Amino acid sequence: MKINEIVSIIRKEKPNLLGDLPDKKVAAIIRASLNQLAFQVDSVDEGVVRVAGFGKFNVKQAEREIDGVMEKVKRIRFARNKPRNKQSQPGEPDIETVDKSA
């Protein structure tokens, strides 16, 4: 997904949020936010980076054989926050959940 696509989606779904900020300025804010997020995840050798309202990045070190040599690699797994209500979020399909405990 491109930054300009994100700006367009926000303008469409929440027109009052951005006010009269130019698209280039909004794109720069989003790009800076994503760069900061990437920096925070990259700076962790092992642990969890939580982003309020978005999800968490689990960072672990693992060993992997590359060309016959064992090397340490960083594994990053993202888990998004689950929606708090049963209504679908903007841009998401309506998905019905089934309670298997009943």
pLDDT value at position 66?
82
Return the higher-pLDDT residue of 98 and 56: 56
Q: pLDDT per residue over 33-88, tens digit each?
A: 999 999 999 999 999 999 998 999 999 999 988 888 999 999 999 999 987 775 55
pLDDT band at 29 (very low <50, low <70, confident <90, very high): very high
Question: What CA–CA distance (Å, rounded) separates 62 from 59?
Answer: 10
Residue 14, classed as helix, strand or coil, is: coil
Helix axes 23-42, 3-13, angle to 10 degrees: 120
Are the beta carbons of 29 and 7 closer than 8 angstroms? no
Tokens 């760069």 sit at which residue?
35
Residue 76's contacts (CB-CB under 8 Å, 6 or more residues apart) are 41, 57, 58, 59
Give me the residue label for tokens 């989003």: 30
